[in-house]
Structure 1
Amino acid sequence: MIKVVAIVGPTAVGKSALGLKLAQKFNGEIISGDSMQIYRKLDIGTAKDTPEELQAVPHHLVNICDADERYTVKDFQQKARQIITSLANDKKLPLVVGGTGFYLSSLVNNLNLGGKSDSDPKLRQRLMKIEQAGGIDQLQEMLQKIDPKAFEKIDIDNSRRLIRAIEVMKTTGQSITEQNNGNKWADFYLIGLTDDRQRLYDRINRRVDKMAENGLIDEAKHVYDHRDEFPQASKGIGYKELYPYFDGTEDLEKCLSEIKKNSRHFAKRQFTYFRNQMDVDWYNTSDDINYQAVIENNIAKFMEE
């Protein structure tokens, strides 16, 4: 069976750096599991690896779409499986790196994400009108009522995923979180990185400050100017918080503080998701200074099994 290593955990914990080191050691290539790094020209707010890092190790599913293109979890699942299979055939280790929980779950659990039986275009249009009218709270309440399991597991701040989960439940009577076809197609070793809360929050705050120094404001202004054309990217943390600054209703420091706060909240949700929903081998980067050596040893054992 195909062997795959995935590195998960909250934002800013050090997943990308570890992924680069492991790829170099184990003849691997990196597959981004992030739902925003797919977009070209959106580099700073999405925390992509640097151009030098992208060249040091082959990366996949990075810079594959323009920001006005629609990209779904099903697109990710299909493309990631193709890449993983190709890498395995070439005797390379596929390393999935990224923090989008449902994306990774779709891959690991082989979720059934499509098909005519769970699609209702008319219902979807009605739900989209609710969202366009500013009714994301209404969608959240609807999902919580009809599918509390999905409400707990998916990103409820993402209206597209809310709509999809409601659509699936209403058309099939089955939660989108239970759509597993039961066929294990690959053997995954899930590595989770975590850190002491205050240390992680300090890292997040420093990262946002560095992003601002490196051009985040200009990048966010580009997204702001095209927000109607960039429906997915325009809702990303690091961009949407700066809109009041461009509107002239808030000062820059207040908006940057909002990015830090939302990033901290997102990190907490990521950790909760992976801890509760997936079988992850956790490593605290503060408690164990030799955690990388331990991980390398465990990967070697995993590859021999």
Structure 2
Amino acid sequence: MSRVPILVILGATGSGKSKLGIELAEKFTGEIISADSMQVYKGLDIITAKVTKEERLQAVHHLIDVVDPLVNFTVVDFRNRALPIIDALISKKKMPVIVGGTNYYIESLLWKILIEDPNEKKVSGTETSCISFSEKNSASVDNIKKPEEEKIEKEKEESDEELLIKKPRLELPESNEELHEKLAQVDPDMARRLHPNNRRKVIRSLEVFEKFGTRHSELLKLQREAGGSGLGGPLRYQEPIILWLCCDQEVHDKRLNSRVDSMVEAGLVKELLDFHERYNEDRLKNNEAPDYTKGIFQSIGFKEFHNYLILPEDERSSEKGQKMLQESIAELKLVTRRYARKQKKWIMNRMIRRTDRQVPSVYSLNCTHIDKWKSDVLEPAIEIVSSLLKGEKPKQHMPLNEQVKNRKVADSSNEESHFCQICERIFIGELQWKVHLRSIKHKKVEKRKRLAANKEATTKKEKLEKAPGSV
């Protein structure tokens, strides 16, 4: 083949990404880069759904079991470790097969979207592969929240520089209005795009200016000039091959429920108890509250089982303990299903529906019927990859992003604020503004103020007419 492409396998949790990744790595002489924010941690194989030792023998896997479970491993750390591996594989004419459900990790490899804070300490063993401002890429730093920690039904995704910035210092003493005014002084363009109550984003923009000495709005402008968009910079590798495993929602929900049951049967609870006990030895000595915001504790499972895990050993087998255990299992199933929906929505909003971003062709594969895996998933995947390697378009498969009608045309980094004089409220973006103007609430306030103004005018007129000397 004339070139070695990057092969990316997308899909919600439990869709079969690992299975397809191994099969394609074997077929096309590739090696797998795991893009899973929890599988980078050592241990806890069940809760993080790692591939088995037998599966790892079928294809070389990278970035699994590489970090201590309590280390806060960020997307920047992941990118800095993954890029040298990808480049080394390409130089050896081996296909990098990126597999994982942490879409932000995959995004950091496909697009030039991150820069590194020079003041931040690197995780031990992390190689540096920075993107400088001179390359005209977007400015974003460190640390993101797990998708399941975000509001599930949030329709408007945040731009890349908003999601991939170091966690803001929300304990700053200034009020929202004071912080927004400060931003207006150093970066008026950015201030017009942010609501004063959006404290986190306002602080983030102030921190960008403080750390890099450059306006946040200017950095966004640079990334667009480099071929990027409000979601980040341009593509890092040309013409990557992207496969997306899709499943009927009802079938997928049942599959995820069964997956959780299988985890429990495989020893999930014991795995959590053992790790929780080791962790709590140090925590209790230091009289610290449990912290589920760092390391492996961000994984789905710990929060859901917390009340059960902290029970005394003799109470776990009691009626109360068993009830709590079943509630934890049910909650784990619920958040897993929600997370899968969030993953699907992320792919649609940040890739499939985009018109303002360099998005490669994305080919969907139907994994609804497990008994038809070979005909519905494996064979079509091989045909797509084989055709693209020859420089040909797959004959029987059209990219999904060429079929979507309801596309996203708004660039969130360009939206500006509108102030409603009647309601005395600020709205960001044309969509919110137009919706507000048509809203019943706005019309009610407008009518109430109009009536009040008319009444006041009438009262003044009557007073003038009754005043001495009036005609």
Amino acid at match of 1:169: S
Q: Counterpart in 2 of 1:188?
A: 240
Q: Quick check: which has more Rg, 1 or 2?
A: 2
**Paired residues of 2:33 and 2:82 also in contact (CA < 8 A):** yes
C-alpha separation in 1, matches of 2:274 and 2:166: 25
Shifted more, 62-71 versus 227-236: the winner is 227-236
For residues 13-32 of structure 1, the aligned pairs below 5 Å read: 13-32=15-34
Counterpart of 1:127 in structure 2 is: none
Amino acid at match of 1:283: L
- The 1:203–1:30 alpha-carbon spacing in structure 2 relative to 1, beyond 3 Å, is same
Match of residue 172 from structure 2: none
Q: Aligned match of 1:284 in 366, 390, 394?
A: 366
> Does residue 241 of structure 1 match 2:304?
yes
Aligned equivalents of 1:283, 1:220: Cα separation in 2: 34
> TM-score, normalized by length of structure 1?
0.81
Describe how 1:94-105 pairs up with structure 2 within 5 A: 94-105=96-107
RMSD over equivalenced CA pairs, Å: 3.4
How has the CA–CA distance of structure 1 residues 304 and 168 changed in structure 2, closer, same or farther, with 3 Å as cutoff?
A: farther
Q: Hey, what's the Cα distance between the residues in 1 that align with 2:96 and 2:103? A: 18
Letter in 1 for 2:205: M
CA contact (8 A) 2:4 2:95 kept: no
Cross-structure match for 1:253:
326
Q: 2:365·2:380 contact (CA, 8 Å) conserved in 1?
A: no
Whichever residue aligns with residue 274 of structure 1, its letter is I
Counterparts of 1:209 and 1:259, CA distance in 2 = 10
Do the aligned partners of residues 179 and 277 (structure 1) sit closer, same or farther apart at CA in structure 2, a change above 3 Å counting?
A: closer
Q: Deviation per CA, 1:46-65: give whole Å up to 9, x if none.
A: 00001111122100010101
- For 2:273, what is the secondary structure of its paired residue? helix
2:56 — aligned with what?
Answer: 54
Q: Which runs of 5+ in 1 are unaligned?
A: 125-130
Task: State which drifts further: 290-299 or 172-181.
Answer: 172-181
CA distance in 1, matches of 2:389, 2:112: 21
- Paired residue for 1:173? 216
Q: Which has the higher helix share?
A: 1
One-letter amino acid of the counterpart of residue 237, structure 1: I
* Residues 1:300 and 2:363 are matched in the alignment: no
Shift of 1:4: 0.4
Residues 1:150 and 2:158 aligned together:
yes
1:2–1:85 Cα contact (<8 Å) kept: no
Report the secondary structure of 1:290's partner residue. Answer: helix
Whole-angstrom distance in 2 between the partners of 1:222 and 1:153: 38
AA of the residue aligned to 2:350: Q
Specify whether residues 218 and 151 from structure 1 end up closer, same or farther in structure 2 by C-alpha distance, changes over 3 A only. farther
Using CA pairs under 8 Å that are at least 6 residues apart, name the structure with larger relative contact order, 1 or 2. Answer: 1
Please tell me whether residue 198 in structure 1 is matched to residue 250 in structure 2: yes
> Structure 1: how far apart are the matches of 2:141 and 2:261?
44
Distance 1:2 1:104, change over 3 A: same
**Whole-angstrom CA distance in 1 between matches of 2:141 and 2:235:** 26
Tell me how far apart the structure 1 counterparts of residues 366 and 292 of structure 2 sit (CA, whole Å): 40
**Cα–Cα, structure 1 residues 86 and 99, in superposed 2: closer, same or farther, change >3 Å?**
same
Q: Which of 5, 9, 12 is residue 3 of structure 1 equivalent to? A: 5
Match of 2:411 in 1: none
User: 5 Å matches for 1:83-162?
Assistant: 83-115=85-117, 149-150=157-158
Q: How does 1:36-51 map to 2 (within 5 A)?
A: 36-51=38-53
2:10 and 2:242 in contact (8 A); partners too: yes
Aligned-residue sequence identity (percent) comes to: 29
Gaps of 5+ in 2: 119-132, 134-138, 170-199, 209-214, 224-228, 280-289, 312-320, 353-361, 392-471
Q: Which residue of 1 aligns with 2:263?
A: 211
SS at match of 1:193: strand
Residue identity in the other structure for 1:200: H
Q: Does the Cα contact within 8 Å between 1:77 and 1:106 map onto a contact in 2?
A: yes
Q: Partner letter of residue 266 of structure 1?
A: Y
- Deviation of 1:161 (Å): 6.7
Give the secondary-structure state (helix, strand or coil) at the position aligned to 2:50: coil
Taking a change above 3 Å as real, the CA distance of residues 236 and 120 of structure 1, as seen in their structure-2 partners, is: closer
1:119-178: CA deviations, max 9, x gaps?
899xx9xxxxxx9xxxx99xx8xxx9xxx65279988xx9x9764984543324357984
Asked if 1:70 is matched to 2:152, the reply is: no
Query: Per-residue deviation at 1:239?
Result: 2.2
Tell whether the 8 Å contact from 2:159 to 2:231 is kept in structure 1 after alignment.
Answer: no
SS at match of 2:158: helix
Q: How many residues align?
A: 282
Show CA shifts across 1:2-49 (max 9, x none).
510111111001111111111111111110010000011121100000
